[in-house]
Amino acid sequence: MLDTEIRKKLSAIVGEKYLLDTPNELYAYSYDATPIHQAMPDAVAMPGSVEEVSAVLRLANVHGIPIIPRGSGTNLAGGTIPVEGGIVMNMNRFNRIYEIDKQNLTATLGPGVVTADLHQAVEAEGLFYPPDPGSMRISTVGGNMAQCAGGMRGLKYGVTKDYILGLEYVLPSGEVLRCGGKNMKDVAGYDMTRLMVGSEGTLGVITEITVKLLPLPETKRTLVAYYTNLVDAAKTVETVIASKIIPATIEFLDQSTMKVVDDFAKLGLPLEMKSMLLIEQDGPEELVVRDMERIAEIARQQGAAEVKLAQTAEEGAKLLAARRSALAALSRLRPTTILEDATVPRSRLAEMVEEVERIAEKYQVQICTFGHAGDGNLHPTCMTDERDKEEIHRVEQAFEEIFHAAIRLGGTITGEHGVGMAKRNYLDLKVGAGGIELMKRIKAAFDPNNIMNPGKMFASSGRRRVVVKR
């Protein structure tokens, strides 16, 4: 609970309507899409302007109250769990697109705009914002930016960081700053924009975002290839890219994932197959047709049992939508679903898939794998039951070994979900003790009182709150 005086001040800043602190309301912000982690905030504030954000931050900074910026709460690394209590700052009132600039090909918007709404708005103008994380119909651009979300078009178009040009952000001191802008070239000082992207709410609160747009590709085609084993699918990915074709999307699903996805989306997938690839190319008609023919040929040469081109745009869209539902559909199998995002250079994909299978076998846990094969970004997903402590322990051991395997193959512990709470104990594997030290010093420069999303990114800061027990 907040101190009565502080509560009064907070209410005066955001208005009583936008300050939530009843038991039900607090409970509803004690979780995000991450399994198992849960902790109660002391209050939820929903500011409506940058001035309000600034005033809330000043108040919190003086009193050392944690601030947890939040969009739609779809992140998978525990990034928005109020693990040390404090004020959840829900940014969903910043949900307006201020401008779509057709001369400069940019859009300027509030961080609370839902990603798919941005897609719709710019596509109506013949423009294109490529980042498309699995949760794009729910997640906000602010949340995507804070986690540097990826998505299915990463192979050809990159990820969120490649599209953020400028920001307005507020420091814990309440100071409002701007970085970047509409310039395609800008080397004035350190690149603060890049630093803020993926900072997981640990440095400041974003209040405005300027994104880069592209012309909307003329057309797109989708193809599926089915395999009787895993390795041929991985070989297809490597060969396509080695042939200098960069498809917009190459998604991989293993047999168990295919089964649950088919059960949800009723696609009629051949469930006797061991794996499938979903490949999409976009661009000018002739180029897309030519690429798709070559990709189909490569898939057949690499041992695909069947290659099918989607006949219509709707059919293609349906296949991709089904892939997006993979994570949630997998949760039908067991009560708890833990999804990770270990990533390797794409040439090591086949080895990584085999490693995951071996590790699942070793610890006797059920792991399905799907993911962005073109990016080497896999989503080994473990179906378990958080009520079974012994099994959860084996799951933790398995994931630890998966992280080590990814690093050994030249990869990383997290490709697109972020560190948050889920991987804070493994960050040193990737960046080393020196890297962590430097990052902590950067954070201290922004946030000397450590109020911004404490307990995330770095291994425990000591002041750990009891996680809500079931």
Partner 1 sequence: MSKTTSQELLSKFNMDEIMNCMHCGFCLPACPTYRETGLESHSPRGRIALMKGVATSQLSVDPEFEKNMYACLGCRACETACPAGVPYGSLVETAREVVEDNKKSEATPPFLRQLVFDKVFPYPERMQALGTALWAAQSAGLQTMANKTGLINILPRELAEMQQAVDKIASPRERKQREKVMKAEGKAALKIGMFTGCIMDVMFFETNQATARLLTKAGCEVVFVENQVCCGALHAHAGEKEGAVELAKRNMEAFERAGVDFVVNNAGGCGAALKEYHHWFHDDPEWKERAMAFVSKVRDANELLAELPPLTFSKPLNVRVTYQDSCHLAHGQGVRNQPRQLLRSIPGVELIEMTGADSCCGSAGIYNITNFDMSMQILDGKMEHVKETKARVIVTSNPGCLLQMKKGIMRAGLEGQMEAVHIMDLLARAL
The DSSP string of 172-189 is TTS-EEEEE-S-S---SS
- The residue whose two tokens read 């960081």 is 161
Instruction: Please say whether the beta carbons of 75 and 341 come within 8 A.
Output: no
Identify the three-state secondary structure at position 127. Answer: strand
Q: Which stretch binds partner 1 (CB under 8 A): 70-78, 150-158, 162-170, 275-283?
A: 70-78
Contact between residue 159 and residue 130 where contact means Cβ atoms under 8 Å apart: no
> Does the footprint of partner 1 cover residue 72 (CB under 8 A)?
yes
The nearer residue to partner 1, 389 or 470, going by C-beta atoms, is 470
Q: By CB under 8 A, name the one of 8, 332, 362, 463 that touches partner 1.
A: 332
Identify which of residues 152 and 155 has a Cβ nearer to partner 1 in the complex.
152
CB of 30 to partner 1, least distance (A): 8
HEC per residue, 68-88: EEECCCCCCCCCCCCCCCCEE
Q: Is 74 in the site for partner 1 (CB under 8 A)?
A: yes
Tokens 């905030």, residue?
41
Indicate which single residue of 13, 89, 114, 382 sits in contact with partner 1 (rule: CB under 8 A). Answer: 114
Say what angle helices 313-324 and 255-265 make with each other, to 10 degrees. Answer: 120
Q: Does 279 bind partner 1 (CB under 8 A)?
A: no
Binding map of partner 1 across residues 153-182, x = CB under 8 A, - = no contact: ------------------------------
| Lateral strand order in the sheet of 67-70 | 19-20, 43-45, 87-90, 67-70
Q: CB of residue 68 vs partner 1: minimum separation in angstroms?
A: 13
Interface residue with partner 1, options 138, 245, 407, 436 (CB under 8 A): 138
Which of these ranges, 51-59, 125-133, 330-338, 356-364, lies near partner 1 under the rule CB under 8 A?
A: 330-338
Query: Dihedral angle at the C-alpha atoms of 292, 296, 301, 305, nearest 10 degrees?
Result: 160
Segment contacting partner 1 (CB under 8 A): 268-276, 383-391, 399-407, 433-441?
383-391
Q: How far is the CB of 164 from partner 1 (least distance, A)?
A: 23
Instruction: Give the nearer residue to partner 1 in terms of CB position, either 27 or 98.
Output: 27
Q: Can you read off the two tokens belonging to residue 212?
A: 């880069």
Query: What phi-psi label fits residue 200: left (phi over 0), alpha (psi between -120 and 50 degrees) or beta?
Result: left
Which one, 144 or 302, has the nearer CB to partner 1? 144
Q: Does residue 123 touch partner 1 according to CB under 8 A?
A: no
The binder of partner 1 chosen from 54, 61, 135, 193 (CB under 8 A) = 135
- Mark residues 18-57: x for contact with partner 1 by CB under 8 A, - for none: --x-xxxx-xxxxxxx-x----------x-----------
By CB under 8 A, tell whether 92 contacts partner 1.
yes
CB closer to partner 1, 72 vs 256: 72
* DSSP-derived pairing of the beta strands 205-212 and 106-109: antiparallel
Residue 249: what are its φ and ψ, rounded to 5°?
-145, 135
CA separation, residue 456 to residues 193, 423, 430 (Å): 20, 9, 16
Residues 6+ apart with CB under 8 A from 390: none
Q: Could you give the residue ranges of the DSSP H alpha helices within 104-222?
A: 115-123, 141-147, 154-157, 192-196
Query: What are the Cα distances from residue 338, in Å, to 126, 251, 308?
Result: 38, 19, 31
Binding flag, residue 278, partner 1 (CB under 8 A) = no
Interface with partner 1, residue 325, by CB under 8 A: yes
Figure out which of the listed residues 73, 204, 374, 415 binds partner 1, where binding follows CB under 8 A: 73
Question: Hey, what are 378's tokens?
Answer: 């896999």
**Look-up: residue for tokens 């509030």?**
110
Residue in the block written with tokens 């084996």? 394
Cα R_g (the chain), whole angstroms: 22
389-408: contacts with partner 1 (CB under 8 A): none
Among the residue ranges 69-77, 98-106, 309-317, 426-434, the one whose residues contact partner 1 (CB under 8 A)? 69-77
Number of residues that bind partner 1 (CB under 8 A): 41
C-beta of 5 vs 16, nearer to partner 1: 16
Provide the binding-site residues for partner 1, judged by CB under 8 A.
20, 22-25, 27-33, 35, 46, 72-74, 90, 92-93, 114, 116, 135, 137-139, 264, 325, 327-329, 331-332, 335-337, 385-387, 468, 470
